[in-house]
Amino acid sequence: MSNKSKGSNMERELVKLFAANGWRAARVAGSGVGDEAPCDIIAGKMGRRGYVVEVKSSRKNTIYIKKSQIEDFMKFSEMISVKPVLAVRFLREGWLFVDLKHLKDTGKFWAISIDTAKERGKRFSQYFDEGTAEKESAYFYE
């Protein structure tokens, strides 16, 4: 299975997770192809703040993301007034949702380690719970 199809399967899995929890979510056409798609998933729920989601998974201990990709992702989320979140999945760890402020600057890339994701990330119900998401004081960075 190619990396592109693995990524698409991960995105579909997350869309189903959103739906199972009462959210509406859609994969963005062209995500993962060139620089045309600014995010992987857009999600919303009636009466709640919307989210754009960048989906990453790895068998390694660190995920590296191009700085330009994160910049475009942040600009897009600001443009449509929704909150950006990184959905990461490391081998046998399940989904963790991480705010962008927890990414580490490596010079050429932004990076998230499995340890940081486990320490700072939250499970779906923790991140998107009615009370938790609304209590966040900053859209992007604190």
Between CA 61 and CA 52 the distance in angstroms is 24
Active site residue 77: no
> Phi and psi at residue 84, in whole multiples of 5°?
-85, 145
Q: What is the DSSP letter of 44?
A: E
Between CA 122 and CA 139 the distance in angstroms is 17
Between CA 30 and CA 11 the distance in angstroms is 12
Between CA 102 and CA 137 the distance in angstroms is 15
- Of the candidates 2, 5, 31, 68, the residue annotated as catalytic is 31
Between CA 77 and CA 70 the distance in angstroms is 10
What are the catalytic residues?
31
